Chains A and B, each alone.
Chain A
């Protein structure tokens, strides 16, 4: 289970790393789609399913999974620790039970070693719980630091797991070695200490240690007699009055001592480290910023604001060859669609001006009337011309185009129309930007019929007409 969660974490993290450069909008669409598909199928969109979905879509050949690699790496490390532990177990037990027939195997030494083992096992778990990494140098040497940020918090627990695997192998091989030595050798156990300890006290200690199995295997609990009988002193290597078989009566205690206080704790702590790794990996997975973002993307609807259409490059051709011309002298003037209101600029007002209104609020019949009356007036002139005043900010429309088309039909053929776009302040020159559409408008009319003219500057204005010709 721990393996699966860890693999899931690493694979998901690897996928998130690959997604880093994808656009947020794409990721949202992709993951929301997955969540909606899951909803349709009646299943919950778990990270496992999401990952499977991603793999399935990538197709075969997508086997370079980080999780598997790291898992295999740690399997190798665990195997290494197990082999080393087994070898050490054999050597240690052989060393502890080394008996040349001269001296007894000291139970006190054995007890001390078991305590040391127990402390080591507890320390391994403690470092995992507290996040210490006394083996960091080894991890660095084995290049176990990638991917750094995700695996780093799990390194202590993974190392503890490897340590406990080695510890279990050590305890097992030690136990097997013990059995072998018990069978092939006549081992003589005794106890000895420099301290002034009575046999009764030693018995109490041994009894307390044997409590866990005292009911299960009473024979493996040394009696006071055995304790009293098997004390030996270095200074007196041969003990008088002790039956030789009594030296061997300690073996059930030694076996159970090893099983209960070395092997069992290691097994329990190994199981705990497996659970703890899975637990930590699960926490890591749920707390992963990428996972939070993924859940958000799966839960939140995708919003498309209508930005697919693109016609930014499909702009009208705004080039024009037309330029502004001079305003000629004519009394005929048409104010189109309210232009010149409330009053016309001084440059356009003459005593004999005939001002007519068309477009805008005027009816089409009124427009026709203007065209007809002007046709009569223009017919009497040598070089007929009409000034058409417009608002520069109201671009030319189809209605004006129609009006001028009709005018061309009704008016004498040589009639010239000068379109004068006025600025909001009629005495100011309109912005070039606003004149451009009018120039292009005249180009769409029959050649020579209409042109754009600008007002001459009023006598007291700094505005110079010379600039107009550059348009």
Chain B
């Protein structure tokens, strides 16, 4: 049985080795800092399928004394054929030597058979000063690939590419923080090409990663659909005794219930954010508090938010026509078609008119105080009767999903979600619009969705996500 491929990610200190590993292993809990010595020991990150390893990435510390190592190697070598053995001898001899602890850590996986992924920073000028490191790596005789990462804004990658080509079999550019997912897969395939035995496991891994991503998108749509259903149909309820009724004014009661309703809705929205982040293996984004800040600045129900995320009257009219027509079509079915489709037409027109005239008003859910029964009185607040509320939630949720799904695990910056300047839902196909509108209508009437309606809503949201992705892509 052949050994599973191992790739040692090596290089000069602070060139983004850990960032490359974090992105490829989808691990946002790897220590990354602009401080030499952040990675003090090599760490393995295996990709496993049902517990079976397909490949392993090994993050290593940076070179600290490459010229001394090279001097030692040259002093102990007779010809090129003994280079790998000499490197092995160096590691064996200097295990536990504090001066060479970093070199031993980074060379150990390589002498055990790992492929070399040499990382440089393409945002700083090329320097021939690293040639000692590259020579040592060449001495190991292992297949190698150079990665030009970009930590800063400047770009010297072309010069780096030309220079690195002299030392490495393959040279690739890869921005660990910004590279899109397709580039991750492409890079992994390139890893597989370093040695013929590695091609199959890396190909299998990329296929599974691609499928995992597709599945995550489907799951994200279901999670958003569930939250939308929950938020749209939520009602805050309070039961009051006679004493409480007497001592509480209607305005106070309305304020209390409204506050509780708002708090709960915001909490639910936050839990949706966390669910989506965890789905994409982002465990630490919440600690950066970007979302909280964003939520405070753009109040969920503020006029400002509505302008950004609510849909147009025209959109509502077409979606409303679709949803109304479906209701009307039910009348046609009951009359075995004898109404010749009039039901669908009338239903559609009513739906469209209702949505056009009332749909874009962000009507807040009204207080409803029930009759006195057995000495108790119930007061309710919600659900919100405006479907625009649903579109606001949907817009924000899809925007957040997009940022999370496109965020690499090397990213440590604040997640800044800016409101869209144009509503991308206008790009959504009619069937999906109708499904969303129907679901929102049912929820606000507190009528539960059936399994198939729930499924249709999730599919429609999946389409909305695709539309958003498309819109982002074309927006440039």
Contact = CB atoms under 8 A, between A and B. Distances in A.
A365 to B, nearest CB: 9
Contacts of B129: 337-338, 359-361, 394
Interface stretch (B22-30, B85-93, B191-199): B22-30
Given A311-B43, A437-B34, A149 B451 contact: yes
Interface string B380-407: 0000000000000000000000000000
A82 B129 CA distance: 94
Contacts of B12: 394, 397
Interface residues of A, number: 56
B219 interface: yes
Interface string B85-111: 000000000000001001000000000
A397 B448 CA distance: 64
Nearest to A312: B29
A397 B65 contact: yes
B46 A393 contact: no
23 contacts: A20-B226, A32-B50, A150-B451, A153-B450, A289-B455, A301-B49, A303-B47, A304-B46, A305-B281, A306-B45, A307-B29, A307-B409, A309-B27, A309-B29, A309-B45, A312-B29, A315-B31, A316-B33, A338-B129, A361-B128, A397-B64, A402-B65, A424-B154
Q: Which 5 A-B pairs have the closest CB atoms?
A: A360-B129, A306-B45, A398-B64, A310-B29, A306-B25
B38 interface: yes
Contact of B49 (A303, A433, A436): A303
A311 B30 contact: yes
Contacts of A433: 34
Contacts of A436: 35
Interface stretch (B142-150, B205-213, B309-317): B205-213
B118 interface: no
A45 B359 CA distance: 48
B186 interface: no
B454 interface: yes
Contacts of B48: 303-304, 306
B57 interface: yes
A312 B102 contact: no
A395 B14 contact: yes
Contacts of A312: 28-31, 284
Interface string B179-223: 000000000000000000000000000001101100110010010
Interface stretch (B66-74, B231-239, B259-267): B66-74
Interface in B143-170: 152, 154
Contacts of A398: 64-65, 99, 102
Interface string A294-305: 001000111111
A157 B284 CA distance: 50
B124 interface: yes
A23 B13 CA distance: 37
Interface in B307-328: none
Given A301-B49, A316-B33, A395-B14, 18 more contacts: A24-B216, A24-B219, A36-B50, A149-B451, A284-B451, A300-B211, A305-B24, A306-B26, A306-B47, A307-B281, A309-B43, A313-B31, A315-B33, A363-B67, A364-B67, A397-B12, A397-B13, A397-B36
Interface in A149-177: 149-150, 152-153
Contacts of B455: 289
Given A303-B212, A305-B25, A360-B129, A315 B49 contact: no
A288 B451 contact: yes
A307 B62 CA distance: 22
B361 to A, nearest CB: 30
Contact of B279 (A24, A316, A393): A24
Contacts of B293: none
Interface string A351-391: 00000000111011000000000000000000000000001
B213 to A, nearest CB: 10
B337 interface: no
A424 B219 contact: no
Give the bracket for the number of chain B residues in contact with chain A: 35 or more
Nearest to A318: B35
A314 interface: yes
B47 A305 contact: yes
Nearest to B451: A149
B37 interface: yes
A400 to B, nearest CB: 9
Contacts of B409: 307
A326 B281 CA distance: 48
Interface in A383-435: 391, 393-399, 402, 424, 433-434
A360 to B, nearest CB: 3
Contacts of A149: 448-451, 454
Interface of A: 20, 23-25, 32, 36, 148-150, 152-153, 284, 287-289, 296, 300-316, 318, 337-338, 359-361, 363-364, 391, 393-399, 402, 424, 433-434, 436-437, 440
A23 B30 contact: no
Contacts of B46: 304, 306
Contacts of B124: 393-394, 424
Contacts of A25: 278-279, 281
Nearest to A147: B448
Contacts of B35: 315-316, 318, 395, 436-437, 440
B27 A306 contact: yes
A316 to B, nearest CB: 5
Residue among B31, B66, B222 with the most chain A CB within 10 A? B31
A16 to B, nearest CB: 10
B250 interface: no
Contacts of A289: 222, 451, 454-455, 458
B50 A364 contact: no
A287 B455 CA distance: 10
Nearest to A16: B451
Contact of A307 (B14, B26, B449, B458): B26
A399 B57 contact: no
B125 interface: yes
B452 interface: yes
Contact of A338 (B50, B102, B128): B128
Contacts of B63: 397
Contact of B33 (A307, A318, A363): A318
B129 to A, nearest CB: 3
Contacts of A440: 35
Given A315-B38, A399-B68, A361 B451 contact: no
B247 interface: no
Contacts of A316: 33, 35, 37-38
B56 interface: yes
Contacts of A300: 211, 215
B127 interface: yes
A148 B442 CA distance: 14
B220 to A, nearest CB: 9
Contact of A399 (B27, B67, B454): B67
A172 to B, nearest CB: 36
A306 B56 contact: yes
Residue among A32, A153, A309 with the most chain B CB within 10 A? A309
Nearest to A365: B71
B131 interface: yes
A150 B129 CA distance: 69
A449 to B, nearest CB: 20
A393 B448 CA distance: 60
Contacts of B38: 315-316
A396 B36 contact: yes
A399 B65 contact: yes
B364 to A, nearest CB: 28
B134 to A, nearest CB: 12
A287 B65 contact: no
Given A394-B127, A398-B64, A303 B208 contact: yes
A363 B68 CA distance: 9
B251 to A, nearest CB: 36
A32 B52 CA distance: 13
A305 B63 CA distance: 27
